[in-house]
Structures are given as C-alpha cells and as structure tokens.
C-alpha cells in the first residue's frame, strides 16, 4: 500500500511539473472514451437491440406539407393523423 501511495505522489508531481502533457493526456482520454461510447451506443441500438416490433419493415413516418407557407416534410400532429385515419380524437 505504501508503494502505491509513493507511485501516486510521483505521478501527481510529474503531471504538475508538465501541465501541457497532463492536459493533452486528459483530452486524449476524454476523446477516446467519448468516441467509444458513441460507437457502442450506435451498435447497441442498430445491431444488438433493434426496434421492438414484429415487422419493422412496415413502420412508416407520416409527414405534412403546407404549400401556402412553403413548408414541407414536418411531422404531423396526432389529431391530424386521427382525422386522416377516420377515428375520433381522444381529446376534444
């Protein structure tokens, strides 16, 4: 345990004596950990845990367009979708 404490003190003295190296080391670790986390998140979402639907090929996204205001491809509101579907909205 004493040897570990001596090593830690020596490491801290070395890092304090060269702050540029310490900053570069910390930034390199931060970028590496961040990139690793991002890549794992994408792989986990796409490959390991895909969408929880029986037939994911049948999922669709419904978009609205407003030609008077030149607005295209924005998500539709739930009430408009229910009106298009022909069912009554839950909220009146």
Question: How does pLDDT run across 12-57, given as a tens digit for each residue?
Answer: 998 899 999 999 999 999 999 999 999 999 999 888 887 788 887 8
pTM of the model: 0.49
Beta bridge partners of 48: none
What residues form DSSP beta bridges with 64?
74
Please give the residue range of the domain that contains residue 72.
60-85
Interatomic CA distance for residues 80 and 92, integer angstroms: 13
In a domain, 90, yes or no: no
Q: Judge whether 67 lies within some domain.
A: yes
Please count the CA atoms within 13 angstroms of the CA of 80 that sit on its side-chain side: 8
**Domain check: are 66 and 33 in the same one?**
no
Q: What H or E segment, with its residue span, contains residue 31? A: helix 19-43
Rounded Cα gap, residues 81 and 64, in angstroms: 10
What is the rounded distance in angstroms from the CA atom of residue 77 to the CA atom of residue 84?
11
């Amino acid at each position: 345990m004493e040897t570990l404490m001596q090593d830690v003190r020596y490491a801290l003295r070395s890092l304090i004596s060269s702050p540029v190296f310490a900053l570069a080391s910390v930034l390199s670790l931060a970028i590496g950990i961040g990139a690793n986390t991002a890549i794992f998140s994408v792989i986990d979402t796409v490959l390991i845990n895909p969408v929880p639907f029986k037939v994911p090929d049948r999922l669709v996204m419904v978009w609205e367009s407003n030609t008077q205001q030149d607005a295209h491809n924005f998500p539709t509101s739930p009430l408009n979708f229910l009106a298009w579907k022909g069912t009554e909205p839950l909220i009146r």
